[in-house]
Amino acid sequence: MPPNLTGYYRFVSQENMDNYLRALDINVVLRKLVCLLKPDKEIIHTGDHMVIRTITSLRDYVMDFDLGVQFEEDLGPVDGRKCQTTVSWEGDQLVCEQLGEKRNRGWRHWLEGDQLHL
């Protein structure tokens, strides 16, 4: 059974973020800005429903979704895209797949001890 990710997770560190964002074809200005941010995450996980709030000094970003159900995600504030997003479990990892104008987009969240990794 997948873990319940409910909790507030404080930013600790990031490694290789600029290269990761470059591989996603994020423009240099946005890459530099993202690398300066130290986002916290607040997750509310109730059964098959989740709310993930990414909290930064610039703005918050909220994802509100049901696991395994595709929804339209508006990433306009992030990088100007809209996509069809599905978030589901692969073992103990929460996996997001984004389908749209850019291929191979998404993310993974998983716990190691009490630390959330992305």
Domain that holds residue 82: 5-115
CB neighbours of residue 115 within 10 Å: 11
pLDDT of residue 21 exceeding 90: no
Q: Per residue in 40-97, pLDDT tens?
A: 999 999 999 999 999 998 889 899 999 999 999 988 766 777 899 999 999 999 999 9
Q: What SS3 class is residue 54?
A: strand
For residues 23 and 111, the model is more confident at 111
Q: How many domains does the chain have?
A: 1
DSSP bridge pairs for 44: 51
Exposure string for 8-34, b = 16+ CB within 10 A, e = fewer: ebeeeeeeeeeebbeeeebeeeebeeb
Rounded distance between C-alpha atoms, residue 14 and residue 88, angstroms: 24
What is the pLDDT at residue 50? 97
Rounded distance between C-alpha atoms, residue 93 and residue 87, angstroms: 10
pLDDT of residue 3 exceeding 80: yes
Q: Per residue in 97-110, pLDDT tens?
A: 999 877 778 899 99
CATH number of residue 59's parent domain: 2.40.128.20
